[in-house]
Amino acid sequence: MTALSPIPLFLFVAALYRHAVAKRRRFLLMSLGLMALSGAVVLLLFDWRSTQPDRIVFDRGGDLYVVAIDGSRTIRLTSMPARQSVPAASFDGHTIAFVRKSQASSFGDIWTMHADGTHRTRLTHGGKDWSPSWSPSGQTIYFIRYANGPDGPCGSIFRVRANGRNLERVIGASHFHSFELPAVSPDGRRIAFDDWDGCSGGTSAPRLRVIDTSGRPTTDLGQLPRNGYYPNPEHDSSAWSPDGNRIAFLLNGRLTIANRDGSDVRSIARSPTIADAWTHPAWSQDGDWLAVVDQTGSLFVLHPDGTGLRRVTQTGWWGTAPAWLPTPR
């Protein structure tokens, strides 16, 4: 056997070393490239989340849509024969509760879906429910359930877990009264709602009330002037500010704001005007904006001081209820 000379052996080992170094360098560069790409994707997603306009969910023609508040784009979330109405967005922005009903029915059942319109889940049955409102935890949905009364369907406040379990009544309306449009406070401890002194319209009129989640009255809105039934002005359609210190509502159809105790009542917009108690305002997550629909069906946004009023889109009818969709957390 002929022995290898020292020089060729050295060159062979050196070649192996250079090959290993080059391979390691290519792997390192590839890894750095993937890390840079991943970082770019993360930054892109962060930038998209942080710069996208706020969105509002609303119903148009029996289906649900989401629109950017600058009006730049509108996305249809549902498309089906049954009608989808009165959407309510969870506080974390991931889920939308809504009512699905037949074309001929006045009320329906409570459903939920993801904010992109997928994963629709039915929570209640019987076709007698309306107006969902989320607890801040996202675990409970409050809503109105109707039963036949002496002068028409009368509403009581119920709640159900977001998984469809533990259905129970919170408070029932007294004789010839109907409760409407529950609004859960940001701390989850109180519910504002409309109390009508009749179930079928006509000469009935609403006032605003607040209870705790056990159904007991609170002192909230106790200083609200003339908050009673006819001949007092109509107070209805309440919405809590995100900090819980103010309540927006309709005073004879005009968008109004008061402190939580009912003091410092201010009408914030001469227009739009909403002459419909089924339609309530909606606050943005940061408290800088309110969304409201006027008598023509136009969706507007404005600041709580009445400035910045601008039209976002046409909903199709004046009875729609907008819901501010928070950026998902």
Query: Which residue type occupies 240?
Result: W
Of 187, 208, 99, 194, nearest to 135 by C-alpha is 187
Place of tokens 């024969």: 81
Least trusted range by pLDDT, from 123-132, 234-243, 272-281: 272-281
Query: Tokens standing for 87?
Result: 């959407």
Same-domain status, 114 and 255: yes
Report yes or no on whether pTM surpasses 0.85: no
Q: Is 157 left (phi over 0), alpha (psi -120 to 50) or beta?
A: beta
What CATH number is attached to the domain comprising 113? Answer: 2.120.10.30
For residue 287, count other CB atoms closer than 10 A to its CB: 15
Residues 33 and 65 in one domain: no
Tell me the pairing of strands 323-325 and 310-314.
unpaired
Residue pLDDT, tens place only, 252-277: 888 999 999 999 999 987 666 665 55
Measured CA to CA, the distance from residue 117 to residue 79 in angstroms comes to 10
Question: Does residue 276 share a domain with residue 163?
Answer: yes
- The continuous run of DSSP H or E covering 20 comes out as helix 6-51
Strand 178-184, strand 282-283: pairing: unpaired
Classify the C-alpha dihedral 215-220-223-226 as positive or negative.
negative
Range of the domain at 276: 56-325
Is 197 found in the same domain as 63?
A: yes
Q: Is the pLDDT of residue 153 over 80?
A: yes
* Tens digit of each residue's pLDDT (9 = 90 or more) over 275-306: 555 578 999 999 999 999 887 888 999 999 99
Give yes or no: residues 28 and 72 share one domain.
no
In this structure, the answer to whether residues 8 and 144 fall within a common structural domain is no
pLDDT for 93 beyond 70? yes
Cα separation, 65 vs 315, in Å, equals: 9
Helices (H) and strands (E) in the chain, counts: 1, 23
Q: What is the pLDDT of the chain when averaged over all its residues?
A: 84
User: Which one-letter amino acid corresponds to residue 314?
Assistant: Q
Structural domain count, the chain: 2
Q: Are residues 164 and 233 in the same domain?
A: yes
> Per-residue pLDDT tens for 40-68?
433 333 333 445 678 999 999 899 999 99
Q: Do 117 and 34 belong to one domain?
A: no
- Residues 278, 218 share a domain: yes
Angle at 128 between CA 126 and CA 132, to 5 degrees: 110
137 lies in the same domain as 268: yes
Q: Which residues pair with 159 in a beta bridge?
A: 142, 168
